[in-house]
Structure 1
Amino acid sequence: MTSITPNVELEQKWDKTFSKNSKLDHCKVTFKNRYGITLVADLYQPKEIQEKIPAIIISGPFGAVKEQSSGLYAQTLAERGFITLAFDPSYTGESTGEPRNIASPDINTEDFSAAVDFIGIQTNVDQDQIGIVGICGWGGMALNATAIDKRIKAVVTSTMYDMTRLMSKGYNDSVTLEQRTQTLEKLNQQRWEDAKNGTTAYGPTSLELKGGEPQFVVEYADYYKTPRGFHPRAINSNASWSLTTPLSFMNMPILTYIKEIFPRPILFIHGENAHSRYFSETAYNEAVEPKELLIIPNANHTDLYDRVDIIPFDRITDFFNKNLK
């Protein structure tokens, strides 16, 4: 197994939010992206592989780590016969990059391609049969990566967010030009504060509810702040993004070239009752066939993080079996 060892100490015990399937082979691997950042990932694969088989790369949600939702997806799809890789994006989890807890639509898109670099040179992977899954905010990144990286043969998004649209326009595109300008001015002033102090400033700890929050925020807290999904390395569980993280998202719409995913297929999956459903519906409308929008009845946004009785793994498996060949 090809691996570049970073100058970091990796957690070796099983510390996922889901139970380990001992019938699979599992190990941690590392590789570098084009910017020299070392990414840390969990590799899952069926035991005793005798031939080259398809591989699937997974990341997300935004502010999560590979020990949470993406790892659950990876292990479950490995149980169904794929080699899978769940990675921590740059600057988060066990992956490197300073300062910590920042995001970038460019670098995080590159993270997917770096994972394709890594998985495609493994001796038991068919380079022509690589797919990716993006969950929540990494759904938009996955679409952006697929548009630019023709090695990716099929893409699934689950409970997708377009983070560039959200940060630049707000929920349901409700932000006015005046509000956007005020936000940018505030972020620009924060850059001077960070420069003066010589450190990166961060917001308050994520999802510390005080009462009166919107229902979808309560649902986030029910995942990230409880034993259901809490993980000490997850930004959304016990940390926060840097205050200036939104800057690079404000004028870089990542779905500009979604039509260039053609002729490769896209499967959009979203919950019927998810506050974020419009992100998938818009992306679906802008994408070119072959495409499919699968709406899960009665599901909210976070149900598709870990509710294995709700996540349509059979449909995902059928999609990849059909299109990774």
Structure 2
Amino acid sequence: MTESIKPGNAVENREVPDTGRRNLLKLTGVGVAAIGVASFFSSSNAKAQNMTQEWDKVFPQSENVDHEKVTFKNRYGITLSGDLYLPKDRAHNRLPAIVVSGPFGAVKEQSSGLYAQTMAERGFVTLAFDPSYTGESGGEPRNVASPDTSTEDFMAGVDYLGLHNSVDRERIGVIGICGWGGMALSAVAVDKRVKAVVASTMYDMTRVMSKGYNDSVTLEQRTQTLEQLSRQRWEDAANGSPAYQPPYNELKGGEAQFLVDYHDYYMTPRGYHKRAVNSGNAWTQTTPLPFMNLPILTYIAEISPRPVLFIHGENAHSRYFSETAYAAAREPKELMIIPGASHVDLYDQMDKIPFDKLTSFFNQHLAA
């Protein structure tokens, strides 16, 4: 049995969300719930939120890595907040670098930061960042997303690393986790500066929002969802602010195993973080709209001749996303299936995440 985080349950001095707002989100129609649990924060402008300086990650800090909080702007002028990790023994060398983000609705203090710090221990300069409108990054309203902005955020990370004096700008790679695996592939198809990309336990967010899990949504269900979301725009416009979805990962019993797995990561001491969209908070109700008509992997074949590595768990409910994307990609490509692993195992389980493979992949393809 896992320990859920409840009000009054102190976990590493982190704040706890109000459980009065945590209900199960119904998996109906297009499955608005498919985009994940979410968060409701106060409004802000395009500037970054007040960034914490203390170590507030869900993983321990490495003694072999230098860490600093950084900010940088994307093409839309939104200030993004990131954690920069640098190998301590870098001297004055210009090193290969990796931009990391994900999962969809997570923050850099969770899985992406773990990936970034671990790869920095292995000799890479790495940048884990909060996407626009979430975490410590800027943008308003809070907790909204679009595939275009998310793709741009990755490219803005490449901008930042390419100007850093510890980075060889001709040796930059990308890692996208979960929903940001699809965003990573979309970004790299466009951004020819990136030399190699990894999608770990990936989701195609446009596919799951528009078609539901396993493409099960009917045209009638899709139309009904779009009717509801379209009319919600009038409500939001009249109110001058967006309405938010009810979060869905407080378990009531009888949920699908993947929802139990998400809860086990985001709502227990294992991975809970107060700023995470997925840790008992909420997206705007209309967040799915831009995902409904924009298949982000249309041009995945154009990543070639640069290499792409897909990593997925054998038992992951989302495995079909990587298998479909792998089939559509061109060589050089590789699909690595981790025996016995679930979707969420690849968020943080050090014995399941194939860091040796990630290291050899980037050492080979980001070689000087």
Please give the TM-score of this superposition, normalised by the length of structure 2. 0.86
Q: CA RMSD in A?
A: 1.0
Q: Secondary structure at the match of 1:283?
A: helix
Distance across 2 between alignment mates of 1:211 and 1:243? 25
Distance across 2 between alignment mates of 1:280 and 1:190? 33
Distance across 1 between alignment mates of 2:252 and 2:232? 26
Q: 1:163 aligns with which of 185, 205, 208?
A: 205
1:230 and 2:272 are equivalent in the alignment: yes
User: Could you list the runs of 5+ residues in structure 1 that have no partner in the other structure?
Assistant: none
Is the deviation greater in 125-134 or in 42-51?
42-51
Q: CA deviation at 1:303?
A: 0.1
1:287 and 2:329 are equivalent in the alignment: yes
Q: CA deviation at 1:240?
A: 1.0
Q: CA deviation at 1:204?
A: 1.2
Q: 2:150 aligns with which of 82, 93, 108?
A: 108
Aligned amino acid, residue 50 of structure 2:
E
Residue-by-residue CA offset, 1:83-114 (whole Å, 9 max, x unaligned): 00000000000000000011110000000000
Partner residue in 1 for 2:22: none
Check 1:219–1:7 CA distance in 2 against 1; reply closer, same or farther (3 A cut).
closer
Q: How does 1:72-221 map to 2 (within 5 A)?
A: 72-221=114-263
Q: Secondary structure at the match of 1:293?
A: strand
Q: CA deviation at 1:31?
A: 0.3
Aligned amino acid, residue 58 of structure 1:
V
Q: 2:80 aligns with which of 31, 35, 39?
A: 39
- Asked if the contact 1:273/1:298 (under 8 Å) is kept, the reply is yes
Partner residue in 1 for 2:52: 11
Residue-by-residue CA offset, 1:147-188 (whole Å, 9 max, x unaligned): 000001000010000000000000000011111111100000
Aligned amino acid, residue 33 of structure 1:
N
1:54 and 2:96 are equivalent in the alignment: yes
1:26 and 2:72 are equivalent in the alignment: no
Please give the TM-score of this superposition, normalised by the length of structure 1. 0.97
- Higher relative contact order (CA closer than 8 Å, sequence separation 6+): 2
Is the deviation greater in 143-152 or in 20-29?
20-29
- Asked if the contact 1:206/1:236 (under 8 Å) is kept, the reply is no
Q: CA deviation at 1:6?
A: 4.5
Aligned amino acid, residue 22 of structure 1:
E
Distance across 1 between alignment mates of 2:365 and 2:204? 24
Residue-by-residue CA offset, 1:197-229 (whole Å, 9 max, x unaligned): 111100113411111111100000000000000
Distance across 2 between alignment mates of 1:57 and 1:69? 13
Is the deviation greater in 197-206 or in 177-186?
197-206
Q: CA deviation at 1:48?
A: 4.4
Partner residue in 2 for 1:305: 347
- Asked if the contact 1:6/1:30 (under 8 Å) is kept, the reply is no
Distance across 2 between alignment mates of 1:48 and 1:272? 36
Q: CA deviation at 1:8?
A: 3.7
Q: CA deviation at 1:291?
A: 0.1
User: Could you list the runs of 5+ residues in structure 2 that have no partner in the other structure?
Assistant: 1-45
Distance across 2 between alignment mates of 1:238 and 1:232? 8
Partner residue in 2 for 1:320: 362
Q: 1:241 aligns with which of 266, 283, 291?
A: 283
- Asked if the contact 2:155/2:191 (under 8 Å) is kept, the reply is yes
Q: Secondary structure at the match of 1:77?
A: helix
Aligned amino acid, residue 312 of structure 2:
H
Q: CA deviation at 1:238?
A: 2.3
Distance across 2 between alignment mates of 1:95 and 1:7? 5
1:67 and 2:98 are equivalent in the alignment: no
Percent identity over paired residues: 70
- Asked if the contact 1:52/1:125 (under 8 Å) is kept, the reply is yes
- Asked if the contact 1:206/1:235 (under 8 Å) is kept, the reply is no
Distance across 2 between alignment mates of 1:214 and 1:232? 24
- Asked if the contact 1:206/1:237 (under 8 Å) is kept, the reply is no
Partner residue in 2 for 1:261: 303
- Asked if the contact 2:144/2:287 (under 8 Å) is kept, the reply is yes
- Asked if the contact 1:42/1:66 (under 8 Å) is kept, the reply is yes
Distance across 1 between alignment mates of 2:137 and 2:49? 9
Q: Secondary structure at the match of 1:236?
A: coil
Distance across 1 between alignment mates of 2:140 and 2:363? 39
Q: Secondary structure at the match of 1:245?
A: coil
